[in-house]
Every structure is written in structure tokens, then in C-alpha cells.
Amino acid sequence: MEARAPEPALPRPGDEIERYSVIGEVARGGMAAVFAVRRSGIGGFDKVLALKMMLPNLASEAQAVERFLDEARIASHIAHANVIQVFDVGTHLGAPYLVMEFLRGQSLAAVTRKAKKSRHTLSLGLRLGVLARAAEGLAAAHGTAGADGHPLGIVHRDVSPQNIHIGYTGEVKVVDFGIAAARGRIASTQSGEFRGKLAYAAPEQIRRDVAVDARADAWALGVVAWELLAQRRLFRGEDESNTLFNVLQLEVPALRTVAPDVPPEVASVVMRCLERDVSLRPESLDELASIFDLAAVAASGGRRADVAREMEHLFREDRAREDERLAAAQRGGGHVPLQLESTGGGSITALSREPAPRTAKRSKLPWLLGVAAVLGVSLLLAWRGLSGEPEAAAPSASTSASSAEARIAVHVPADARLVLVDGRRRDERPLVIGLTGDASAEVQVVAADGREVSRRVRRTDDGITLTLPAPMATAEPAPPASSAPPAAVRAPAKGGTKKPTGPLLADPY
């Protein structure tokens, strides 16, 4: 009996895919996995990109391949700052892939969840600004023409908070054209098959009584806008049947009745988007973009909202962790898993790091100056006592304790990969924190393998040592006994070593 050929595996960090070198896996789900890759060239050209590859088990399914290639072809035609850019397409071991810009940030869905969890109200200017940029991106997609100069008739068909990306530096992009409709699309939707998110789907996408065009995206963006401005869900029910009924039948509450701070012109255009009669909706999202943008500027005092500042407030620690993971993966090194939160619940694993570099010795100058200051005060008091000069009344212990700053030392484990104090990265060892009065600081220590410990420290904690939990067990078999050094510190083989697979960041694509 002829043996069955093994199924091709996804690439591993260090693998070469044509002109791209794999750094690590970013995410996996649905029909594809996304990798961070490096593209290098002459003159020192070096750029990190995202490579989205179809999962090998789907590469033999013709319809799945057609849908994947449709996404690459449709998205590559759209050239706009508010739409994710697609640069290349190819195949690797029979699996198609596309190369896109590398995004750093979070989906709008993740941003609203984090804001709610943190009890932080996103500014009206930010919310309107994000909606304006998303409308601009969708309008650009709708107006994109093909090589023959005629419109391609692109309709995203899956506009939702999950597919609006907000970068850590403030940019907004529409992503995932995987089920977009366009002239010349290869794949077709099977009869009775619904693709997309039911709570944001236009009624005509469900009923299929009229042709779906750009006004379906206007409906979906209207739902996103209503929810973002009202800060509550609109159509989502307890189950799919309840959600379906709401989309088709629920009377949409007037936006200003639930969000009175929303400008009237904004509320009016959002409610027009939510008309079930397609002919009553805005025909172009350019109109929405203009109204949202003007209102956003007005809400932010005559300028655009500082999206980057609010993203920094919400995701400072997340970004610091991602920075560390990405830097460690690019350096390469030992096989140490990093635990990441998966968007679908559970955990995903990232691999690759090198031993932490030795930190520089802390300067003794501050300590010497402190000793000199204490000696100086002591000599002054002694001189006053000998000369008979009356001493000034010493401040009470409580007054001194509340006004003077105490510098406390916090010792962190040698394998700490990232140390944050109130969300800000600190690299000195031992960690020295200045505290006044009853103030405290939150210290968070993260190891390279994802273990972490948090502790709120006060003045009385001077000299404390933070201890990380015991290492997690890994699924890798124990290495055979030998005189060779452990894998984490073994020198790389000549020509480089391949690093293990596993998700690297939590960026949405």
C-alpha cells in the first residue's frame, strides 16, 4: 500500500519564502495564519511585513483557494491610507499567500473592550475620528477602478468593529476583504450560505431580495457608528435567531435619545444609514466621512483627536510586551515559549529569544552624594550644639514622612525580560523608585517565558525581592543527557538555526 504524502507544514521562524525571511507567527484562525516577515535588499533596505498564508489543510480545496486569491486581488487594487495595503502574492509548498503591511495596534472591538474594562470613556473626538477614517477607506474601496478604468464595484460586506484597525500611533485602517464582492470575483457564495457577522449585516444581505452594493457597507458602518457613539450594542440578541429578527424588524432607537452628546448632523446621517429601504441610505460614504470629520474636529476643540495618546493610555503595557516579543524574535535565540492572550479565548504560544544581556552596573555617584549630604547635616547639627546656637525645631515624624521623597530599591529576578513601573518600562537594576508620603507604585515583572508577577509597593517595601512563579511545563521532550550546554544558551550552528513556530503578537488582520 502506497504511503500517503505528509501534509505540508506552515513555515517556521527562520524559514525563507522567496524574498521573505520568517520572523514569527502573529496569529492563526479561520482559513489562514499570519507571519511577521523581513524583506531585505541592497543599500541597507530592511522592512518588516505581514505574510498571510492559507492553512495547508485548506490548500487543496478549490473554493477556499479562490476566496483567498480574491482577497489578495481585490485588496491589492485599493490604494488608500485607511485601507490595509497588499504588496505581493505567491505560493509556498502549494499554499497561497499574500504579503501586506505590518500592523501594530488593536481592532476597534478590542479598543472598546479595553476602555470598558478600564472604565475609560473614549473621547467623542476619537470615536468620530475613527468613524471618519473608516468611512474614507470604504469610500476609496467603493470607488476603485480596474485596469480598464471601470469601477470594480467593491463591497466589503463584513464591516464590523473587528475589521477596523486602530494603530498604536493613531492610524485607522479597514482590514479583511476576505468576503468582499467585486466585478470579476472568482469565488461565488453558495445558495443559502451567509458569510459575515449577522449583527452588522444589511437586511438585503440576509433576505437577498435586492443586489448588494456599497449601501450595504453604509448600513454596517451605521451599526458600528450607532454602537460606538451610544456605547451599547444595537442588534445583537441572545442567539442568532433573535439577532436575525432584530436586524430585520427591530425599530432602531433614535441615536440622540441614548447619546444626547452626539451632534445632530451626525445622529441624522447615522440614522439614514440604518434605513431598511436601501434607496433612503447615503449613496456614498464620502458624505459620512465629511460629516464625521467635521464633528470630530469640533468635539476636539478645533483639531483632530489625539488617537495615539488615548491608545497609549489604554495599551501602554500591551505595546511594551509586543515590542519585547518582536525584538526578541528578531534577535533569535533559544526555545522559550511566550504565552499570549488569544482573540478567540485560551492561549497561543510564541517562541524565540536569546539570553537577556547583562545590565550595566549602577553608578555609585547618587549613593555617595547621599552619604555626603547626611554627613554634612550631622556636622552642622553638632556645630550648633557646641556653639550654643539654638536648634530649629525638628519637623515631626509625620510631617517629614509625608513631604520627603523616599527612594526604595526593588530587586527583580535575573531572568526578568520586561519590568514596568506604573506601566512604564524601567531597565535599571536594582529597580529604584521614588515615593512621597503614602504614594505607591505598581511594579510588574514579565519573564521571557510569559510568567509574570505584579506587586504594589510602598515606602515600607524598600529592599523587597519580587519572585516569579515557577516555570510552566513545556510539551517539548527533555533533551538527552550530554555534555552539551542547554538549548537556551547553546551557540547557534554555523549558518544560523531555525527557530520554533508559534504566534508572536496579537495584532488583528
Residues annotated as part of the active site: 158
**Is there a contact between 65 and 91 (Cβ–Cβ < 8 Å)?**
no
Q: Report d(CA 75, CA 176) in Å as an integer.
A: 8
Q: Which residues of 316-330 are buried (b: 16+ CB within 10 A; e: fewer)?
A: bbbbbbbebbbebbe
**Is there a contact between 461 and 408 (Cβ–Cβ < 8 Å)?**
yes
Q: Report d(CA 105, CA 120) in Å as an integer.
A: 18
Contacts of the segment 290-293: beta carbons below 8 A, 24+ positions apart: 291/265, 291/266, 292/128, 292/129, 292/131, 292/132, 292/135, 292/225, 292/266, 293/128, 293/129, 293/132
Q: Report d(CA 372, CA 351) in Å as an integer.
A: 49
**Is there a contact between 419 and 427 (Cβ–Cβ < 8 Å)?**
yes
* Collapsed DSSP state (helix, strand, coil) of residue 17: strand
Pairing of strands 405-411, 464-465: parallel
For residue 141 the three cell numbers come to 474601496
Q: Report d(CA 120, CA 76) in Å as an integer.
A: 37
CA-wise closest residue to 141 among 159, 119, 168, 121:
159
Q: How would you classify residue 271: left for phi > 0, otherwise alpha for psi between -120 and 50, otherwise beta?
A: alpha
What is the radius of gyration, based on Cα positions, of the chain? 28
Q: Report d(CA 225, CA 136) in Å as an integer.
A: 14
Separation in Å, CA 175 to CA 81, 141, 162, 431: 12, 11, 9, 41
What values do phi and psi take at 129, rounded to 5?
Answer: -65, -45
Q: Report d(CA 34, CA 502) in Å as an integer.
A: 11
Separation in Å, CA 299 to CA 124, 135, 262, 292: 6, 18, 9, 10
* Residues sharing a CB contact under 8 Å with residue 215, sequence separation 6 or more, in sequence order: 202, 278, 281, 282, 283
Separation in Å, CA 260 to CA 228, 257, 264, 266, 269: 13, 6, 9, 11, 15
Q: Report d(CA 500, CA 435) in Å as an integer.
A: 43
